[in-house]
Structure 1
Amino acid sequence: MKMRIKQSYICKDIEQYDINTNLVSTHVPAVGDVAVFEVLQIGKHKTIQGAEKRMQTILPGDYIMAAFGTRYATAQFEGYVPEGICPEYHILGAGGTVGLVHSSHSKFAQAGPTTLKLAGWITNAHQNVINTIAANQHLQKPFTGGMGHATRVILSVGSSMDSGKTTTAAKMVQGLSKAGYNTAFIKLTGTVFTKDADLNFDHGATTVADFGMLGYPSTYMCSLQQLLNAYESLMHLVNAAAQAFVVIEIADGIYQRETEMLLRHRPFMNTVDAVVYSAGDSLSAIHGYEMLRSLHIVPAAICGLFTASPLLVQEVKERLYAPVLTIEQMAAGELLQYIERPVYEMAS
C-alpha cells in the first residue's frame, strides 16, 4: 500500500513498520494499538499534532497514523475504544487519539467529530500490531515513591477542565525559576497533546515530561497502579533528584476518576510537598477547597480563573482562611512563602 501518511504525535517513535490490510476485518483494537486511517469527514478536529509537534491540516481523503485511546474532556469529548470492529471511528484528541465519541459538549453538536475509516494496521516484522504503550515499556518504572522524596513536589489540581490549572502551573514554574530554583514540569494525566508541557517549558521549566512520552494516548480509565507507575517513570525522565522542585499537573477536575483516585491515595500524596488548587469561580473555589480539606489535604494556595476578578477574590477571602494568589503573584514567586505549610492536616 503506497500512500502519504500524516503521522500523529502519539506515533512519533514508530519508524520501522508495515501496513497490514488483512487484519482490518479481524483485529479488535486495544488502547495504544496503532493504525492508518483515511479521513472521511472533517468535524471538530481540522488538524492533528505531528511527530515534530507541528499542527498538520487534515483533509478528506488524507491518511493519518494514530492510536486507539479514550478521552475524558467535559468541554470537548467523552470517548472510548470500541469493543468490536466498526465502519467508522472518530478523532478524540489532536495528538492522535482515536476511538468512538460517547458524548460531547453541546458546542460541538453541529460539527461533530472528525470521522475516519480504518485503512490498515501498523505492524512489526512479526506482523503483530504495534502498540504505543508496549513500545515504550522500557521507560516504565514501578512505583516506589522514592523519586518524589528526592525533590519537592507541587501538585496543580483544579475544579474542572479550563479552571486555570495549567496557567497556574506555568506561572508557578516561572516564579520558582526566576527565584533561582531548577524546576521541572510533569503532565501526569489527560489526553495526549504537548501544549501544556510546551507552555511550562516556555515559562522556564528546566525539563518537561508527560504521559504521552510513555506511549499513553490518554490516561482515562487507567488503573491506579498504571498511574502510579507513570508518575514514577516521569519523575525519572525529568531527573527529579536534580530539580529543586517538580510541578505536576493532573488534568480535569478533582471529581474526575483518575484525579480523585490519586488524591485519595496516601502513598502518592505522601510524596507531595504542596498542593495548589485552581478554580473558575468563587463557589467552585470554596467548595473544592472544602472537598480537599475533607481528604485532609490543605492547599498551600488557591489560584485559577476566578482570580482575574477582584470581586470573586473578595468573595473567597471572606469565606476561606487560605492564601489566594493571582497568576501575577504566582509569576512573581509569592508561592514560596506558603509552601512550607503541611499538605495534610491532623485528622480530628
Structure 2
Amino acid sequence: MPDTIGDVFVTAAPDRLQQRLLLARRSFVTRRADLGEAVQFAKASSPVAGDLLLARVERIGQHQALESPQGRRQQMYEGDEIVVAFGNRYAPDQFDAVVPDSLAPCDLVAGGGIAARVRARHGRMKAATRIVPIGLLGDQAGRVLNVSRFALPVAQPGAAPVIVVVGTSMNAGKTTTAAGLIRGLSRAGLRVGATKITGTGSGGDLWSMRDAGARTAFDFTDAGFATTAGCELEQLVTAAKSLIAHAGTGNDIVIAEIADGLLQTETHGLLKSADFARHVHGVVLAAGDAMGAVAAARWLHDHRLPLKLISGCLTQSPLAMREAESVIGLPVATLEQLRDPLQAPELCLRAFEALDIVA
C-alpha cells in the first residue's frame, strides 16, 4: 500500500519504516544523520533545504549512480528507494535547481543525494534523474529530520593559520590545488587540517584531501548543510568559521577550499565578509586561464584579500603561466611544486610573513 495519496502523507509504522530505510540506498549527504530517529513520515508537505526524505527513482537520467556515505557509487535502477536531502544546486556546467514548494515529483540533481526542481541545465547535461518523494522523515514528535540537526558543535577558529583556495570558476583546479598543497605540507612534516567550506554535498573533494595527507578533513555537511547554495550569509559565515576551527584543532595549518568562482553568490558574500576574512592569512587562486587569473587577482585586491599565489588549470600551459605572472606579479606554481616538500612550505610562508609555521 503506498504511503502517499496526492499530497496527503500518512504515518508509517515505526518498524516498517525502519525496515524500508535499511533496504533503501542511502546517499552521501545523509552521512551524519541518525536514521534511527526516523519513526514516521512527517506530516509537513513543504520541504526546506536539508530536509531528509525517502524517495523512489522513477526515471534514470543524468545521474545513474548514488554516492553512499562511504563514497561508493551505488548503481540506481528505476523503482529503487533512496534516502536523500532537499537542497539548492548552483552548478554552471550541470544544473540550476531549487528546493520545491511541495512533495510533488522532482529531480535528483547531484550524485551525493540532492533532491530539487531543475530550472535550467547545461547543454551537455541529460535531463535529471526523476524521483518521487514518498515522505519526509520524521521523529517521534513528528518533526522533520534535517541534516542541520546532526551538525558538529559550533566552534571558533584557534591559532592555526589558514590558507584559503578560491577559483575563477568551477573546474578551475581548486580541489587539485588544495590537495597539492596538503600533500606538499604534510610531506614536509606539518600537521595539516583541511575543509571544504561551500558546495554541493559529495565525498570526492573530502576523500581527495584525506588521500593527500590531511590529518583531519571536514566539509559543509559536517556543519549541517546538504548544499550551501541559497543559504543565508550569516549562517554561512558561522559555518565557515566553525569548520576552520575543527580543521585547525591539533594541526599546524588549515587548507580551506571555497567552491565555484568568485562571482557565485555565496562565495562572493563569504569572501566580502569582514568576520570571515579576518581569519584568512593567505589566498591561493586557481585559474583556468591568464585573463581569468588577472581579473580574479584584481577582484581579490579590491576586496583586500591577501592573494599570495596562483595555480590551477592554467599551469598546464607555460605561456599562460608566463602571461599571468608578468601581469599579476605573483608566483604561479605548478602542481609538482605544490606537492614538493621543500617548495610547498616556502610558497606558503609568503602568506604568513610574520608567522613561523615551519620549524
Give the TM-score normalised by structure 1: 0.90
Q: 1:18 corresponds to which residue? A: 39
Q: 1:141 corresponds to which residue? A: 154
**RMSD over equivalenced CA pairs, Å:** 1.9
Q: 1:122 corresponds to which residue? A: 137
What is the letter of the counterpart of residue 95 of structure 2? F
Cα shift at 1:50: 1.3
Give CA deviations for 1:26-85 in whole Å, capped at 9, x if unaligned. Answer: 611111111111101111110111133221111101000111111111111111101234
Count of residues in correspondence between the two structures = 331
Q: 1:7 corresponds to which residue? A: 26
| SS of residue in 1 equivalent to 2:259 | strand
Cα shift at 1:19: 4.3
| SS of residue in 2 equivalent to 1:116 | strand
Q: 2:281 corresponds to which residue? A: 273
**Residues in 2 aligned to 1:217 and 1:340: alpha-carbon distance in whole angstroms:** 34
What is the letter of the counterpart of residue 65 of structure 1? V
Q: 1:220 corresponds to which residue? A: 229
Match status 1:112 vs 2:127: yes
Q: Which of the numbers 319, 329, 332 marks the counterpart of 1:324?
A: 332
| SS of residue in 2 equivalent to 1:220 | coil
What is the letter of the counterpart of residue 175 of structure 2? T
**Residues in 2 aligned to 1:236 and 1:267: alpha-carbon distance in whole angstroms:** 14
Match status 1:78 vs 2:96: yes
Contact 1:76 1:105 in 2 (8 A): yes
Cα shift at 1:232: 2.8
**Change over 3 Å in CA distance of 1:296–1:235 after alignment to 2:** closer
**Residues in 1 aligned to 2:202 and 2:277: alpha-carbon distance in whole angstroms:** 26
**Residues in 1 aligned to 2:83 and 2:228: alpha-carbon distance in whole angstroms:** 20
Match status 1:230 vs 2:201: no
**Residues in 2 aligned to 1:236 and 1:307: alpha-carbon distance in whole angstroms:** 31
What is the letter of the counterpart of residue 204 of structure 2? K
**Residues in 2 aligned to 1:168 and 1:177: alpha-carbon distance in whole angstroms:** 14
Cα shift at 1:297: 2.2
Match status 1:60 vs 2:78: yes
**Residues in 2 aligned to 1:120 and 1:132: alpha-carbon distance in whole angstroms:** 16
Give the TM-score normalised by structure 2: 0.87
Cα shift at 1:317: 2.3
Contact 2:56 2:81 in 1 (8 A): yes
Alignment of 1:1-348 (within 5 A): 3=20, 4-12=23-31, 13-16=33-36, 17-20=38-41, 23=43, 27-86=45-104, 88-108=105-125, 111-133=126-148, 135-137=149-151, 139-141=152-154, 146-147=156-157, 149-238=158-247, 240-333=248-341, 334-341=343-350
Cα shift at 1:343: 8.1
